[in-house]
């Protein structure tokens, strides 16, 4: 008998503003989403898939930014489709799954819902079949996607309890500032 070991898995983290495609069965793409949206697309005939991760559907100030910027939905949806086509996928065979779009912080308004609505409309307008969605709500999600076979695993990250505004930090020795962090 001839036994071969399974191929070594290669993890790729898809960050905000990225879109990648692959036909390599060793690739496992992953991302973590809050209000951002990720699209996992798959062509079952070509066995090509890809994932994107967009921060906003479109610029908040449309006069200052181009929609063809890597932070925005339109650019990253088109980029994902084009990357898949380069690997032999055909647009009318593509199937899509949508994830994310949570409204995690009331202070940020409904950014997640706006992102989710954009993704749904884009797929409809482009004639790409949406086969599943796990969008909106108030919880973050961790997504893992095998692009060569179209399998996706989505895990909801438990909601953190709200901290009342009147809660004070404990007094003690402070830590030197390390820099700024911007949360989305």
Domain boundaries, the chain: 10-156
As a whole number, the mean pLDDT across the chain is 84
Q: How far is CA 126 from the centre of its chain?
A: 19
CA distance 102 to 107: 13
- Give the separation between CA 135 and CA 92, rounded to whole angstroms: 23
| Rounded CA separation 44/63 (Å) | 40
Average pLDDT over residues 34-49: 97
pLDDT for residue 6 is more than 80: no
CATH 1.20.210.10 fits 10-156, yes or no: no
Closest CA to 143 of 98, 82, 80: 98
The most distant pair of C-alpha atoms in the chain lies apart, rounded to whole Å, by 69
- Cα(15)–Cα(17) distance, rounded to whole angstroms? 6
User: Rounded distance, CA 160 to CA 182, Å?
Assistant: 18
Region 85-89: mean pLDDT is: 98
**Tokens, residue 24:** 């390599």
Per-residue confidence band for 150, with pLDDT thresholds at 50, 70 and 90: very high
d(CA 59, CA 62): 5
pLDDT > 70? residue 87: yes
**For residue 111, pLDDT beyond 70:** yes
Residue 91 is given by DSSP the state G
Measure the CA angle with vertex 66, ends 12 and 142; round to 5°. 25
């Amino acid at each position: 008998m001839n036994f071969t070991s399974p191929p070594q898995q290669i993890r790729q983290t898809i960050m905000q503003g990225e879109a990648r495609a692959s036909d390599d069965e060793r690739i496992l793409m992953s991302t973590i989403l809050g209000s951002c949206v990720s699209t996992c697309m798959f062509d079952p005939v070509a066995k090509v898939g890809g994932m994107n991760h967009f921060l906003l559907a479109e610029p908040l100030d449309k006069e200052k930014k181009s929609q063809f910027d890597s932070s925005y939905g339109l650019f990253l949806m088109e980029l994902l489709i084009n990357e898949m086509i380069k690997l032999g996928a055909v647009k009318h065979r593509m199937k899509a799954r949508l994830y994310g779009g949570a409204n995690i912080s009331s202070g940020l308004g409904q950014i997640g819902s706006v992102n989710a609505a954009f993704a749904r409309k884009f797929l409809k307008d482009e004639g790409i079949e949406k086969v599943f969605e796990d969008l909106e709500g108030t919880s973050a999600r961790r997504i893992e996607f095998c692009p060569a076979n179209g399998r996706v695993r989505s895990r909801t990250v438990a909601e953190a309890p709200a901290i009342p505004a009147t809660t004070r930090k404990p007094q003690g020795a402070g830590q030197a500032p390390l820099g700024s962090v911007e949360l989305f």
